[in-house]
Chains A and B, each alone.
Chain A
């Protein structure tokens, strides 16, 4: 069987200045085609003003089985959040 075009992941930044967001994937023979295809497939409704594409095989993902050790430890570090600190209600601009 002939080789299929590789899969690319597509990230798009919308007009409102937020970060590039993963929107989906597609097939393309090369990076240039991947960008064109991303433009044609994922910005048909003016969804974005900037596109990143990366070949899926280059993405290293965290292992879900390690979710516990990776993400649980942050949960009790409540002092990283502003609501941890008790301040009087009349205090303004803080």
Chain B
């Protein structure tokens, strides 16, 4: 049981961490100082959430894992994040669309988790929900700005949507752990969110004069530990210190 909650926490925690990592790569490279600072704030929120999830997860392990053990010392196939969040910062359009597709899901997830039977998960969700409400405002606003900005920005956004949209399906895919957690009243009901999720996305895209690609095929694998090639490189950086200098305090 404990192990299942642990696994469930990885699913949420890894998404926050890997997306936080991608955003942190942009620190110092944003399109304007103001935007740079804003993206870093989102990254910091996500790392804060990651720590909350991993501290909670660590307490459930028999060998008392620390947040850092969980964050840094797993093999690639043991990370449970969706493929969407590991997609690279190809350009600002990709950054914004990735964020928007994730935030739109994240907010629905957290709203449900605030009612979790697990008090600690509910508490983390409560705190995170405020942060993520802002993230979604931020990313939605930018989707509209860039979608309806110039011809060039419109095209870049449409390209990003075409590329990233097929990664959205995995967010709502229910793994056995998620099914079990849902049935126990601990986890969220992912399939039930589907209508809300896509309604919201399509509405914002429409305002932004963007169109979702016609696709019935969605990429997936991350939640089961089968990742894209990108994750290996992310981990090469993320884990570098812990792997090169094992068992030390930093």
Binding site for B on A (CB under 8 A): 5, 26-29, 32-33, 36-37, 39-41, 44
Contacts and interface: CB of A to CB of B under 8 A. Distances in A.
Contacts of A33: 34, 141, 145
Nearest to B41: A40
A27 B38 contact: no
A32 B34 contact: no
B37 A41 contact: yes
B63 to A, nearest CB: 37
Contacts of B141: 32-33, 36
A41 B41 CA distance: 9
Interface residues of B, number: 12
Contact of B145 (A26, A29, A44): A29
Interface of B: 32-35, 37-38, 41, 134, 137-138, 141, 145
B32 A5 contact: yes
A44 B37 CA distance: 10
Given A33-B141, A36-B138, A36-B141, A27 B41 contact: no
15 contacts: A5-B32, A27-B32, A28-B34, A33-B34, A33-B141, A36-B137, A36-B138, A36-B141, A37-B34, A37-B37, A37-B38, A39-B134, A40-B37, A40-B38, A44-B37
A67 B97 CA distance: 52
A36 B38 contact: yes
B51 to A, nearest CB: 18
The 10 A-B residue pairs with the shortest CB-CB distance, nearest first, are A37-B34, A40-B38, A40-B37, A40-B41, A41-B37, A26-B34, A27-B34, A36-B138, A32-B141, A41-B34
